[in-house]
Structure formats: C-alpha cells, structure tokens
Structure 1
Amino acid sequence: MDRRNKPSALTTTPAAPPQARFDILGDRVTAVLPTGESVEVLLTGATVLSWKGAVDGGAAEERLWLSEAAILDGSKAVRGGIPVVFPVFGKSPADLATSKLPQHGLARTSRWEFLGRSTSESDASSKASTNGVQLDFGLTWSAADPALKALWPFDFALLYRVTLDPGSLTTSIVVTNNETEKAFDFQVLLHTYFSVGDITQVNVDGLGGAPYSDKLEAFKVKTQAEGKVDFTSATDRIYQPEGGATQVLTIAEGGLPKYSVSRDNLPDVVVWNPWADKTKDIDDFAPKDGYKNMLCVEPGSVSGWQTLEPGDAFEGAQSITLL
C-alpha cells in the first residue's frame, strides 16, 4: 500500500576533504599532502631540504637538489635545497656594516623558530582540490647565532612562510626593522637548487636581453643574448630581467618546460652552476659530478641594497610551479 507521507531519504554529511599530514621530528618539520607531495624544512636556516612534487596526478618526485655531503647538524650552511640568504649576498666591501659577516650572512646558519602551520586553500582553477599547507618560521636578532649577530648589531625580525600546494611550492619572506631610531641596509635571496636530469639539456627562458654581472669575470657587466640561457660551462651571474620582478622564468629540459618561477618584489635572479672545474674546491659538494643534476635559479634583491627605516618591513616571494 502506498503511504501518503513517506519519510525522505536521509541526507549524508559530506566527508571532510583530505588533510595534510604534519610532523616535527628533532630539528625537521615535514608536511605531506594526501596526494603524496611533501616538503621538509630544517630549523637550521629554515632551509627547505626536500620538495617532492607531482604533475597531473603522477607520482611525487624530488624537485630540489641536495648534496650528499651536505652538513645538516647546524654547524654549517646546507649545500642544496633552498637556503635563505640575509642580510648580505656574497661578501661586503669593507666600508659596509655587513662586512664582518661571513658569505651570505647569518640567517642560513641560525636556528629558526617554528611558528606553526595552517591550511592553504586551493583556488577553483587548481588542477587538484586538495588543500595545501603553510609552514611559518621566525628569526629575530636576539635568537640569531650569537657569534654572528654581534657582527651585525641591528634589531631585525624575519618571517618565512613555506607553502606547499599540489604542483607548486611558494616561499615568502618578510624583513622587519625593529630598531627605534636606526635604519639598516640589507640584501636577501632565496638560494634555490633545482634538480635536473642533465644540465647540458637544460635552458632558462625569460632572461633574454637582460643585463647581468658575471661573477666569474670580476663582476663584468654584460647583456644576455636574446633567447634562452644554455649551460656548457661554469656559470655564476646576477641578472636583472627586463620585465623586473614580474618577469616569469621557465626552466626547460630536453625542450620540455619543467619549472615556472614567478617572483614578487625580488627583482634580481642569480643563476649558478659550478661545473666540474669548481666542484673540486667545494668540500661539501657531492658527488663531484653532481653539477650535472642541479641548477640554481635564485630570486633575490642583491644587485644593490634595500634600506629599511625603523618600523618598516620588506616582503618578497618566489612561487615555483611544476609544468
């Protein structure tokens, strides 16, 4: 018999979207997305040691190069991954406040504080609906390496955010001057070591026509030929792309685009590969023929100096997308 008032079907509560797994083990912070993509950050230098990313639902693969001889106990800066360079790139002239600091400054050898994690929502156009994850790290002058902070006595604060989304990794940094009366000058750079299969098959697009300083020829200023940058020997250059910080760079291998690098408020790009003749002199570079499998493309602000007034802040970022 038909019933006049049949109960309607019970509605089901939608299941919560898959969440990232998160772990702190010793001095390493790790996050893993449900897709298998992951990031690992060492508290020394807030250095990204590993980024395993996938394209179009494929298996997650290591995207960063890390030396087999990298020092990970905090006694030395990490060779590989993404070290943070601050407040100086290279060595300073003797008349500058940063002149007493070692090469690349104090941030990459200081122990950072892990400030917490949060969810990164994928936008509607994303290839995957899985939420990402944001990891925040902080470093202040008072917490910096004691032996180094005395060499650059300015009250600063750094906030570094590592955001892992399906198919992309974003690293952003905020520099704040906490001094009440003194301004300070600084440089900043995200020293990204990309993993590649064969450096002789790699090129970088987006630098054609750009002026650059050739560090292998005493910083001689040159202009990059139009087209793509290829690699057949040691390369160490500071580029100023014609499109400024909005110029997107593409790293390709074997004619196929592999990485896209977008920058925000980081106008310079350092491109580095030591090649065989240079790796012999780098103790923590291993294997010695590892130059075949890496390329540094490093967004930063290093061709000049940023002046930060008391209470002011500077923010810059890079976003790497797998192609």
Structure 2
Amino acid sequence: MVEIVRNANELEKVILKEPHGSVAEVSLFGGQVISCKNERGEELLFLSSKATLKPPKQIWGGITVCFPKFCNMGALERQGFAKTRLWSIDPETPFLSSGSSSTGDGSNKAVIDLLLKPSENDRRIWPHIFELRLQVALGPGGDLILTLRARNTDSKPFTFTIGLHTYLSVSDISEVRVEGLETMDYLDNVRHLERFTEQGDALTFEGEVDRIYLSTPTKVAIIDHDKKRTYVLKKEGFSDTALCGK
C-alpha cells in the first residue's frame, strides 16, 4: 500500500506498507527515506532527535541521497545539494494510493518513484542540467530496495559522484562488526585520505571510523550482537563502499 500524507511541517511524505507489517516512510524533502520498520515494529534506521524534517537544513539520518558529489569537491556543499531539495513524485510512473503496485518484475511491492530536476539557483552553483530519479520499493518480506538513476539532459558532458548514505540503528557501536570488506583497500578520511588495506577477519569499531573502501563486493553484512540483528546491504552499479561510525 502507498499513501501520501503531510507531516507537521506541511511537507509531503510517502508511506509504504507491505502485508506482513513492514513500513517505510519517504520524505519529499531530500527524497529521503526517514524510517523503515520491520514486521515487529522495530526501527531499522537512525534518525537524529534534532532532525527538523524541513528546509533548509538536511535531515540527519535515514538514507541520504548524495548528488552531484559524495565527498568534498570544489565549492559544492558536502554530499551535494540533492539532500536539501524538494523532490516531486514522478508523473511518468503512476502508483496505486491503496493496495500494492507492481514494479514489472512479477512481484508485488509498495513502490514510489521520485524525480529531481535542477532549479535556476542549482544551476548557478553547478551549471549542468540533469534528471535524478529515485525509486523506493518495499518488498513482501520487508526488503527495502532503492534504485537511483542520474541522466544527463545537458548538451555537454559533466562529471559527478553519487551515493546513498545509510544511517543504521544499532546498539553500542562496540557490539557491532562488519563482514565483507576483508582485504579491501580503503582511503582513511581520519588520516587525510591515506590508503590502507583492511587486515582483520571482520571490522570492529575501537574509535572513529570514516573510510571509503575501494572496488568492494556486492554484499556487506553489519552484525549487531547486542540487538541480535544482522543488516545485509547489497549494491549494484556502485563501485565503492563508505563506512562511518564512532
């Protein structure tokens, strides 16, 4: 089921529900997933208690869309401006306001398609024309699937970086380990982007971690021993994996 509601700040958000009880919420401000609860009602994403959910400040938490850059690049703000813009529901991909919508892959999912195009102010700080499309789908088993596509509608080529910055809800960070990044090279942002190779069998957090792992596998597991919960993150089309925690 897909519903559109307005939050306390009179901004639209989309609620996706699947039959077993999983629920996801997507804010049109930032095109940002701000909540994802499993069938037991447990929140899987972290959202800061100071998050305002309205312009002009970004929403701290959930899943942030980073475009047209992921890291520091020129005069653009960190992680780009897509996270602080109002997205629209893509008029080319209708959905059902009640019941399930189909993604065309033979399975029923609650789906919403969002669209972002640059404003005149955006073109003053980044002089290119583009279409950014985000599909958020909640599957029958509670799987959350994000598909992000950028299209150049300009007359000249441009360079960009893009990413999905996911804030997971975990217990004590010392109880968390990450599997799937063993032997991978990474750039350490805490050490001025020096390059290292991951040595451990699994990564644990003994201090601040802010790294970009290069040419990573398609699957990474985040294991929270205290909550007895495992997050499995899968990616396609993204070459690297960023990992932050402290």
TM-score by length of 1: 0.68
Unaligned runs of 5+ in 1: 1-19, 93-98, 276-323
> Where do residues 1-323 of structure 1 align in structure 2 (5 Å cutoff)?
20-25=1-6, 26-54=11-39, 59-92=40-73, 99-115=74-90, 116-117=94-95, 119-120=101-102, 131-142=108-119, 146-165=120-139, 166-180=141-155, 182-243=156-217, 247-254=218-225, 258-273=230-245, 275=246
Distance 2:200 2:215 in 1: 12
Q: Classify 1:259/1:141 alpha carbon distance in 2 versus 1 (closer, same or farther; 3 Å).
A: same
| Per-residue deviation, residues 176-204 of structure 1 (Å, max 9, x unmatched) | 00012x10000001000011122111111
Counterparts in 2 of 1:68 and 1:167: CA distance versus 1, 3 Å: same
Read off the aligned partner of 1:108 and give its amino acid letter.
Answer: K
Change (3 A) 1:241 1:227: farther
Structure 1 distance, partners of 2:41, 2:104, is 18
Per-residue displacement from partner, 1:226-271 (whole Å, max 9, x unpaired)? 411101211100001454xxx3111112185611111101011100
Give, in whole Å, the separation in 1 of the partners of 2:208 and 2:62.
Answer: 20
Shift of 1:121: 6.6
Q: Hey, what does 1:314 align to over in structure 2? A: none
CA offsets, 1:89-141, max 9 Å, x none?
A: 2321xxxxxx22111111111110012436247989xxxx9x32111000012
Point out where structure 2 has 5 or more consecutive residues left out of the alignment.
none
Structure 1 vs Structure 2 CA RMSD: 2.1
Displacement, 1:23?
2.8
* CA distance in structure 1 between the aligned counterparts of 2:142 and 2:28, rounded to whole angstroms: 24
One-letter amino acid matched to 2:79 = H
Partner SS, residue 195 of structure 1: coil
Q: State the Cα distance separating 1:61 from its structure 2 match.
A: 1.4
- Paired-residue identity, %: 31
Instruction: Tell whether the 8 Å contact from 1:85 to 1:104 is kept in structure 2 after alignment.
Output: yes
Distance 1:61 1:170 in 2: 18
Q: Secondary structure, in 3 states, of the residue corresponding to 1:238?
A: strand
Q: How high is the TM-score relative to the length of structure 2?
A: 0.88
Look up the equivalent residue of 1:49 and give its one-letter code.
I
Task: Give the letter for the 1:30 counterpart.
Answer: I
Return the alpha-carbon distance in structure 2 between the equivalents of residues 79 and 147 of structure 1: 23
CA contact 2:216–2:239 (8 Å) conserved in 1: no
**Structure 2 equivalent of residue 309 of structure 1:** none
Contact 2:216 2:241 (C-alpha < 8 Å) held by counterparts: no
Note if contact 2:103-2:111 (Cα within 8 Å) is conserved in structure 1: no
Q: Point out which structure has higher relative CO (alpha carbons under 8 A, 6+ apart).
A: 1
How many residue pairs end up in the alignment?
233
Say which one has the larger Rg. Answer: 1
Q: Is the 8 A contact 2:2 2:111 kept in 1?
A: no
**Structure that is richer in helix per residue:** 1
Given residue 197 of structure 1, which amino acid in structure 2 is its aligned partner? S
**Quick one: distance in 2 between partners of 1:157 and 1:242?**
27
Letter in 1 for 2:235: R
How far apart are residue 148 of structure 1 and its match? 3.4
